[in-house]
Amino acid sequence: MHEQYQPREIEAAAQSFWDNQKSFEVSEDLGKETFYCLSMFPYPSGKLHMGHVRNYTIGDVISRYQRMLGKNVLQPMGWDAFGMPAENAAMKNNVAPAKWTYENIAYMKTQLRSLGLAVDWSREITTCKPDYYRWEQWLFTRLFEKGVIYRKNGTVNWDPVDQTVLANEQVIDGRGWRSGAVIEKREIPMYYFKITAYADELLEGLDDMPGWPEQVKTMQRNWIGKSRGMEVQFPYNVDSIGEAGTLKVFTTRPDTLMGATYVAVAAEHPLATLAAQGNPELQAFIAECKGGSVAEADMATQEKKGLPTSLFVEHPLTGEKLPVWVANYVLMHYGDGAVMAVPAHDERDFEFATKYDLPIMPVVRTSAGDETPAPWLAAYNEHGTLINSGEFDGLDFQGAFDAIEAALTAKGLGQSRTQFRLRDWGISRQRYWGCPIPIVHCDTCGDVPVPEDQLPVVLPEDVVPDGAGSPLARMPAFYECSCPKCGAPAKRETDTMDTFVESSWYYARYASPHYEGGLVEKAAADHWLPVDQYIGGIEHAILHLLYARFFHKLMRDEGLVSSNEPFKNLLTQGMVIAETYFRTLDNGGKDFFNPDDVEIERDAKAKIIGATLKTDGLPVEIGGTQKMSKSLNNGVDPQYMIEQYGADTCRLFMMFASPPDASLEWSDSGVEGSHRFLKRVWRLAHTHVGQGLPGALDISTLNDEQKVIRRAIHQAIKQASQDVGLHHKFNTAVAQVMTVMNVLEKAPQTTGQDRALLQEGLETVALVLAPITPHISHELWNQLGHAGAVIDAPWPTLDESALVQDTLQLVIQVNGKLRGHIEMPAGASREDIEAVARINENVLRFTEGLTIRKVIVVPGKLVNIVAS
Ligand code: ANZ
Ligand code: ZN
């Protein structure tokens, strides 16, 4: 054993041992309990960042721990390899996205390997390869035939200069990111997954998922957004053109119907189109609304604007005439694209009515008892007793809901309805680097799914996109084909799928990654699924996790998997954060400096109070800790850390600095501290091993001091088992190991028993650390005399008897003041304790001349003698 801790050698040796032994390749072992541990697979962006390192370390610690419990653990890894960054890089560097992606994968794989992950690399998946996306296309054709996927027009951002569709994030302040052109909305045919058909199941399933964080479930519930309400119809009659009909609106507050003072429709609403005929001002406004971004977040925050039409509708109960407005805050794709506006009780309507001087009519009594309308300062949106509502006055929310529903139903002008916020999932992307949609358009047969024996539709890999439209749409070699049904010349679909599709089912493919007979091999899928532990960032709380849950149900309904949900337990790891430093530029922008280039000054409490740039010595502003990112220039390169200190130090620091779900603040001194600790462990083991391994420990003949040491060892096992097994609190488990190390370093080493006890202590340290710092544990375990590898050793077992304390130390107080200690057998009675305390020499001294009035005994803790 080397005297020095040399992580580079130890880590290389351990890793090649695992590789040679194929230690982490697993198969369906029916004799063992399975554990499927999955970390969200990375996008191959170029190199690992600290967020990856944290994510994969957490997953690895859990995997290795579960293996030590005797389970058959599957931990796979792969690449979420389609997507826009590859196209952007391609345009910048004039290199094909495929080449760029495969090179990144190769490099990032060596990085991941250097972390020493217990990954079954034989199951590696790369989503941009035909052997993967072939099954995505296969599923697509099945779902298309079933009607779960359908085609309809969808709205996209259209860049009129580049002649291309842009993603929401490519539209900046309403303009194309490359061309700077004002973006238009365009309707084009797209494919949709009917996720709304599963809305109820996706919502209700959440009630039965105790292994998911509450916060994530709440986010999903809100996203699905089930609202119970009513559809209300407002009759109209446009004399000028002889058109009559009803305007349908969706409302969650039918109780406020008598307070509706106008109705508003979206710019795309047919009534808006009708009203705009011969009204150039309205036409211009509608065109303006149709421009801009389609992102809903922008719609919610933009200034409310509208124009009146010359149209009126009739109130369904009173017959009163209400004006029809076109308003930018009404969304065409929610509800019915129209609202009944109740300014007194809805914030958006209130803001709009105030701006355009429309009447405000309160119909719900506020908690302050207000019944009079103006001048209100805000809408009152709570439920309450109805006022100003004629026959409905005095009713509460539910009473009004029912009564108004009855009144509307009687007239055929309304009925209750449940509405979801969730919309069908449009998956068509007019991009190159994605999975081709397996459809052929035939003039006679329409949209024909590509037959199974003609799959996959292979994406050509040698294309360099130029940013102007989809390159596939300009490649006859790709799109020219014959109709699978009638054989006539036909055109292949040139859109590709949203990359969220690939990540919606990859976890299932890992069960049988090389299977060629189908998307999954049923037996393998049933063996491994559902995933026992899924780990990833909170940023995926909504879309990815919802789509994956949806896909699981689609696969279930295709008979591919047997479970209802894909991920039993979910751990959302916190962010990796670091200090930021910047200077404000003349144009108001910020110039960020890497923390490495900044000299900092701290106060006595280690709070940063000043910072200067190393190069010029001048002050920089302190921006506080924020998520590590390129734009804030506060990233730390994992590669550098691994080269400098070794993977074990990085892993230990990450696990020790905070629990996995909290944010982790990067600290160079924390990394150094972790490194020093591993050196201490090494040093103690080196000294111990150097003296030859001791004989067996005889626990029946331990002296008191040895018992205390052994208690510390087993206390740590107990605590660490709970921390890791029940709560994933690796940080406190590491703290336990540190406590044991303090004890072991001071333990006497005179007798054989002393040395045998240190052996037990060091073995415990190696085992408890094994999931966290697997390389050093691998080496220590062998050095401590074990022939087998530590990965095959079981998690240490607690010896309860070691925790039993024969004697306990009690504090002695006289009148509440500490006056000494006594040792008592653990099972001593109150009477015995009191008797011994009374004759203690300090007690005698401090009670001299006084009368003992009372003796308070807290067994195991203290004796307080009250004397006066
Ligand atoms: C009248 C009313 C009175 C409303 C009131 C609210 C409060 P959720 O809960 O999200 O489902 N709404 C309906 N369709 C809309 C659309 N296409 N664009 C914008 N807003 C729309 O919201 C339902 C409420 O959102 C509906 O209830 C409607 O306003 C509005 F005191 O109707 B409410
Ligand atoms: Zn045909």
pLDDT in tens, 364-382: 998 877 666 555 678 999 9
Distances (CA, A) of 692 to 238, 253, 681, 730: 101, 81, 17, 32
pLDDT on residue 242:
72
pLDDT on residue 172:
82
Q: How many angstroms from the chain centroid is the CA of residue 162? A: 35
pLDDT higher than threshold 80 for residue 296: no
**Angle value at C-alpha 194, between 191 and 195, nearest 5 degrees:** 125
Question: Is 315 among the domain residues?
Answer: yes
Cα separation, 60 vs 89, whole angstroms:
31
Token look-up 């890089």 returns 89
Question: Is 762 among the domain residues?
Answer: yes
Q: Which two tokens stand for residue 406?
A: 């009855």
**Angle value at C-alpha 770, between 764 and 775, nearest 5 degrees:** 125
Are 361 and 230 part of one and the same domain?
A: yes
Domain boundary among 389, 416, 443: 416
**Which of 203, 251, 348 should be mutated for ligand 1, with most atoms under 8 A from CB?**
251
State the burial class of residue 159 (Cβ atoms within 10 Å of its Cβ: 0-12, 13-18, 19+): buried
- The answer to whether the beta carbons of residues 520 and 510 sit under 8 Å apart is no
Q: What is the CATH number of the domain that holds 268?
A: 3.90.740.10
Distances (CA, A) of 804 to 14, 272, 714, 807, 845: 38, 81, 10, 9, 33
Q: Nearest to residue 434, comparing CAs of 503, 500, 498?
A: 498
pLDDT on residue 297:
55
345 touches ligand 1 (CB under 6 Å): yes
Q: Which residues contact 183 (CB under 8 A, 6 or more apart)?
A: 157, 158, 159, 166, 171, 174, 175, 176, 291, 292, 293
| 447, β-bridge pairs | 441
Are 364 and 259 part of one and the same domain?
A: yes
pLDDT higher than threshold 70 for residue 79: yes
331 three-class SS? coil
Are 380 and 486 part of one and the same domain?
A: no
Atom of ligand 1 nearest to the CA of 332: 17
Where is mean pLDDT largest: 34-38, 155-159, 375-379?
Answer: 34-38
149 touches ligand 1 (CB under 6 Å): no
Q: What is the CATH number of the domain that holds 605?
A: 2.20.28.290
User: Are β-strands 439-442 and 531-537 bridged in parallel, bridged antiparallel, or unpaired?
Assistant: unpaired
Are 218 and 79 part of one and the same domain?
A: yes
**Angle value at C-alpha 660, between 657 and 664, nearest 5 degrees:** 45
Q: Which two tokens stand for residue 780?
A: 């220590």
Question: What's the residue count for the chain?
Answer: 868
Residue 461: which pLDDT band, with cuts at 50, 70 and 90? very high
Shortest-distance Cα residue to atom 25 of ligand 1: 251
Residue 730: which pLDDT band, with cuts at 50, 70 and 90? very high
Question: Is 25 among the domain residues?
Answer: no
Question: Is 2 among the domain residues?
Answer: no
pLDDT higher than threshold 90 for residue 31: no
Question: Is 761 among the domain residues?
Answer: yes
Mean pLDDT across the stretch 237-253?
87
pLDDT higher than threshold 90 for residue 168: no
Cα separation, 236 vs 387, whole angstroms:
27
What is the 8-class DSSP label of residue 436?
Answer: B
Q: What is the CATH number of the domain that holds 811?
A: 3.10.20.590
Q: Which two tokens stand for residue 244?
A: 């009559």
pLDDT in tens, 810-834: 999 999 999 999 988 877 888 889 9
Name residue 155's amino acid.
T
Angle between helices 214-224 and 543-557 (to 10 degrees): 80
Q: Nearest to residue 737, comparing CAs of 772, 702, 698?
A: 772
Looking at the structure of the chain, the number of domains it has is: 6
Q: Which two tokens stand for residue 451?
A: 């037959």
| 817, β-bridge pairs | 814
Q: Nearest to residue 395, comparing CAs of 403, 404, 385, 405?
A: 385
Q: Which residues contact 595 (CB under 8 A, 6 or more apart)?
A: 578, 579, 580, 581, 634
Question: Is 20 among the domain residues?
Answer: no
Are 746 and 670 part of one and the same domain?
A: yes
Q: How many CB atoms lie within 10 A of CB 788?
A: 9
Phi, psi values for residue 15, rounded to 5°: -65, -40
Distances (CA, A) of 238 to 421, 433, 696, 743: 32, 50, 99, 90
User: Are β-strands 621-627 and 807-814 bridged in parallel, bridged antiparallel, or unpaired?
Assistant: unpaired
Cα separation, 819 vs 613, whole angstroms:
56
Q: What is the CATH number of the domain that holds 505?
A: 3.40.50.620
Are 819 and 859 part of one and the same domain?
A: yes
Ligand nearest to the CA of 360: 1
Q: Which residues contact 605 (CB under 8 A, 6 or more apart)?
A: none
What is the 8-class DSSP label of residue 575?
Answer: P
Name residue 534's amino acid.
Y
Q: Ligand 2 center to residue 478 CA distance, Å?
A: 18
Are 309 and 411 part of one and the same domain?
A: yes
Cα separation, 521 vs 411, whole angstroms:
57
Q: If residue 829 lies in a helix (H) or strand (E), which one and from where to where?
A: none
**Which of 233, 250, 255 should be mutated for ligand 1, with most atoms under 8 A from CB?**
250
**Angle value at C-alpha 710, between 708 and 714, nearest 5 degrees:** 115
Omega before 316 within 30 of 0, i.e. cis: no
Are 669 and 646 part of one and the same domain?
A: no
Q: Which two tokens stand for residue 612?
A: 């200067």
Q: Which two tokens stand for residue 65?
A: 């721990």
Name residue 204's amino acid.
E
Ligand nearest to the CA of 448: 2
State the burial class of residue 67 (Cβ atoms within 10 Å of its Cβ: 0-12, 13-18, 19+): buried
> Near ion ligand 2, which residues have CB within 5 Å?
442, 444-445, 483, 485-486
256 touches ligand 1 (CB under 6 Å): yes
Contacts by 243-251, CB closer than 8 A, 24 or more apart: 243/274, 246/313, 246/413, 247/271, 247/313, 247/324, 247/338, 248/336, 248/338, 249/335, 249/336, 249/338, 249/339, 249/340, 250/334, 250/335, 250/336, 250/339, 250/417, 250/419, 251/339, 251/340
Are 679 and 541 part of one and the same domain?
A: no
252 touches ligand 1 (CB under 6 Å): yes
Q: Which residues contact 588 (CB under 8 A, 6 or more apart)?
A: none
331 touches ligand 1 (CB under 6 Å): yes
- Average pLDDT over the chain, rounded to an integer: 93
- The answer to whether the beta carbons of residues 40 and 540 sit under 8 Å apart is yes
**Angle value at C-alpha 536, between 512 and 85, nearest 5 degrees:** 85
What is the 8-class DSSP label of residue 250?
Answer: E
Residues placed in the known binding site for ATP: 630
Domain containing 490 equals: 139-194+426-496
Domain boundary among 621, 650, 679: 650
Question: Is 132 among the domain residues?
Answer: no
Q: Write the DSSP assignment of 340-371 as a string of letters.
A: EE-TTT-HHHHHHHHHHT------B--TT---
Are 65 and 94 part of one and the same domain?
A: yes
pLDDT higher than threshold 80 for residue 162: no
pLDDT in tens, 171-202: 888 888 778 888 888 889 999 999 999 999 99
Question: Is 630 among the domain residues?
Answer: yes
Name residue 419's amino acid.
Q
Q: Ligand 2 center to residue 455 CA distance, Å?
A: 18
Q: Which two tokens stand for residue 646?
A: 């070794």
Domain boundary among 779, 803, 827: 803
Are 483 and 503 part of one and the same domain?
A: no
Q: Write the DSSP assignment of 179-247 as a string of letters.
A: T-PBPEEEEEEEEEE-GGGGHHHHHHHGGG-TTS-HHHHHHHHHHH-EEEEEEEEEEEEEGGGTEEEEE
Token look-up 């309450």 returns 384
- The answer to whether the beta carbons of residues 762 and 780 sit under 8 Å apart is yes
Q: Which residues contact 8 (CB under 8 A, 6 or more apart)?
A: 646
pLDDT higher than threshold 80 for residue 293: no
pLDDT higher than threshold 60 for residue 325: yes
Q: Ligand 2 center to residue 494 CA distance, Å?
A: 17
Are 380 and 270 part of one and the same domain?
A: yes
Shortest-distance Cα residue to atom 27 of ligand 1: 251
Q: Ligand 2 center to residue 518 CA distance, Å?
A: 27
**Which of 253, 347, 351 should be mutated for ligand 1, with most atoms under 8 A from CB?**
253
Helix (H) and strand (E) counts for the chain? 26, 35
383 touches ligand 1 (CB under 6 Å): no
Q: Ligand 2 center to residue 447 CA distance, Å?
A: 9
pLDDT in tens, 628-655: 888 888 888 889 999 999 999 999 999 9
